[in-house]
Copies of this chain bind each other. A is one copy, B any other.
Amino acid sequence: MTEDDPRRWRSTAHNVVYGNPWIEVSEHAVIDPNGNSGRYGLVHVRKLAIGVLPIDHAGRVCLVGQHRFPGDYYSWELPEGGGPADVAPLISAQRELKEETGLTARGWLPLLSMDLSNAITDERARAFLAWDLTEGAPEPEESEALRVKWLPFGVLLAEVCAGAIRDAFTQTMVLKAEVAFRQGELPAVAAAAIAAGHDV
């Protein structure tokens, strides 16, 4: 009775109550894991959440700043965006990085995979570490108004640890990179960049 636990949610009917290009909200008639009847509002997120931690040879990380509508605050985050479900996450990550910052990278490593809010949505996230960067012109989407700034990795980590960066996806990417670095799991060039970013 662990992964084989037969007690699960079951949907007996559902209807779509809202949809737009990013999300679809459905209400399901459900039987809960204990056999009780109920309702469950499920937010389907159409795209994969894609994140990138781009770090240069000096250990500086590129962040983007923008106003976030749902929480109504200005947010500095790692480059993030939505990738179509039928596109390889790495391809979407390379596109998002270029669009938001103008950067291209020659070094790429999968950093993490996670589900962002798994009691309410089915949103999945994939992130990459990117290094060996070349600067270029950003290509923002029509609705995006982004600022870019660079922070040494150690300063960014301190901001995450202090709660100054609210975005969960950014927090997790930075913490995961730090742990992978401390555990000696990163390629030499990426590890050297993070080491440099601690020494500033």
Q: Chain A residues in contact with chain B, CB under 8 A?
A: 1-3, 5, 7-9, 11, 17-18, 20, 22-23, 25, 27-28, 30, 32-34, 36, 38-45, 49, 65-72, 74-76, 80, 112-125, 142-145, 147, 149, 157, 161, 163, 166-169, 171-172, 175-176, 178-180, 182-183, 185
Closest Cβ of chain B to A166, distance in Å, is 5
Q: A7-B67, A41-B18, A147-B5 are in contact. Are A123 and B117 (CB under 8 A)?
A: yes
**How far is A161 from B183 in the complex, measured between Cα atoms in Å?**
10
Contacts of A68 in B (CB 8 A): 9, 115, 118-119
How many copies of this chain sit in the oligomeric assembly?
2
Closest Cβ of chain B to A155, distance in Å, is 14
Contacts of A67 in B (CB 8 A): 5, 7-9, 33
